[in-house]
Structure 1
Amino acid sequence: MTRVEAIHRAIRDIYGAVLSPDDWSAALALISEAIGAHKVVLNEAGADAAGLAVSIGVDPVNAVRLRREFANRLPDWIKAIPVGTSLRQSSAISDADFRRLDIYNEVVRPEGGFYSIVAPLARSPRRQVHFLVGRELGAADFSDADLDAANLIVPHLMTALEVQSHLAAADLRAQTAFDVIARLNVGVILFDAALCPVFVNPYAEVLAARGDGLLLNSRTVAAARHSDTQDLRRAMAAAVVWHDISRDSREAAIRRVAPTRCYLLRESPHLPLVVSVMPLCVIDVVSEWNLARGVLFVLEPDSPLSPDLGVLGTTFQLTRREVALASLLVRGTDLEDAASQLGIGIGTARGYLKRILAKTDTHRQAELVSLLLRAGMQIVR
């Protein structure tokens, strides 16, 4: 294989490793061949995480030592190299001075190496990346041609690592979104262009498990009744069409997307499930979000109400007894029954209600209940 062919293969595998991190070792092996090195190290360190650390031809113990030296005692001659520039060690420091450095005595000498080419790939307070190729002790220094090969490869390493960093951030954002959606007290279903579910949160899974109204499997979102299924799938298809790439992008950007609503009938006495269908625009996010083209929000109108009592008390400065009465009224209990359950007289209950109305700036019990439902609604579990 010629050097040019080796460089091309190395660059190809560098970008392949972005999507398959386990392939970084194979990519470094090709870099080693292209530059004529015996050892290759790619070391990334960040303020929040250890980052990428991969090497070939280096003893694992010495790789850890090198990582520590780069993090804590980086030589000044490496600090002076501009980001994106490959530099021969012998161009920056004499062999005699190099032998006196901690990094030589702690890592390079135990590893049996000497000459190297070093390139900083990123340098900021939060992230530093260094690329290093080395030769064994007794081998000749790197030539100009070797340095030229490194200079051809380094820009691609920088680009690949930047892409990998963006993908990792996108993964984190996606995971955070999934964690939030999983806790919502409403059913959420993401579906792809084929109308197949790609993500179902726990609340939707519970609704589907009842087999009444909403039906789910790995390939289909459906309803218990055929006519409801047809309505639902028409609405889902309309959401997918919104993503048609032939649509003028400016139109898509300014067009207000109103949800389409469907109703999935259930067995009496249960009320129908209310489903809102909307297109989902996902940019720069990986995993399931990449496939999603629409989202279903499934509401259960007759689900038991359980307002957050702590929120009600703090928001409206209600006493413990006032909160207890308010929570019963929100659940539909009339004032007389509420007084009985609390073990108080109806006159005392009316006094509590009067104070609650004053604190919430409401005038009728129905208005009060509506306000308390909105204020105390538990959005997440």
Structure 2
Amino acid sequence: MSGDDDFIALIDSIYETIHDGDVWPKVLTTLADAMDASQVAITSVDKRDSIVSAVAPRTDPALITLYKEYWAFNCPLWRHTALHPVGKPFSLDSLMRREEFSATPIFNEWWRRAEYGLAATAANLIMEDNLSALICVTNAPAIDQMTERQTQLFATALRHIIRAIKIRGRLWGLELNKTAALERLDTLQKSAFLVDAWARVVFLNSTAKAMLDAEDGIVLRKGRLTNIGDSDILQTLIASCVEASLKYKAPGGEFSVERAFPCSPLQVSVAPLRSNQRLSEVSWLGLSAPVAIVTVNDPDCERRQLETNLQRRFGLTAAESRLAAEIVKGDGRGAAARRRGITGATARTHLSSIFEKTGTHRQAELVRLLLDVSEARKLGSEPFGPYRG
């Protein structure tokens, strides 16, 4: 093919990646061929848990494994690449003098073995809080300089690569929404997380975000969702959703997370995410498919929300709403008073006022009303204004 034909084939393959992440090795090979370059690679680092991904179709797979496991964390070039904005090409010479880089362990023990030359051009593709990725093209070790044609072709292809990445990201969000019904998850009153096979959060609703911000019971450790305490039961249950194994009796499960008094235990449920839609993963882009849904019920949060709702709807005082939220449990005024730490006489006074404000006359009638209010809030159908039942 002619040079123009090679370039057209390159652009076509770049946009194929929007729908098929497995095309990236073909893209890089076509780019290297069009540039008459020797080596080409895309590498990324997920900073949440220090996972390195690499697409390098012309590099020995054994050397790629060494890079991901060791050299990526011992390469002096990385800290210099962060100074360059996304989409702006730079040379290896702009990061470090050749004499200096040639004396480093990574050059002598990895770079030369992989047959990467010192004439290299690169660019950042992604620079986010949790993820960074770059593309690098090098000549053969014997060719000391990049030609003007090579640098121009790289810069032109780079614009299309970044555009394809952005489109892929937007489509991923749409596919994820279709697969997991994200809009419905965001209306849940309980915390909901979608997690991948490594327990990394792919999506969380607003209630879940507030829970993580509070760092109370469920937290992120090295980018992975886990529960407080010595047990790693949450990550174990997530792992059970990935593959069937004799190690796990069944996928998913339930458990409680104890918290300091007076907080109630969190109720956690893990279930495999079932869908007829299959998301195409692109690991180096940070696009990993969710395998499980984790829901967390915080009884204290529900009680506080119910208290606020009762104050707004019926004009209860804070003390009255706290007692009413305990009354709804249905085990009597005395038990509710003990949980609230108030005397029986105070509870009777509050209850008399609650009857008057809610238009009820007996405790059983009040409990039914409060249960209706609580259920309406969970379903998102709670009306504003005073109760007209």
Please, what TM-score do these two structures have when normalized by structure 1? Answer: 0.50
Please, what TM-score do these two structures have when normalized by structure 2? Answer: 0.49
Which of the pair has more CA radius of gyration? 1
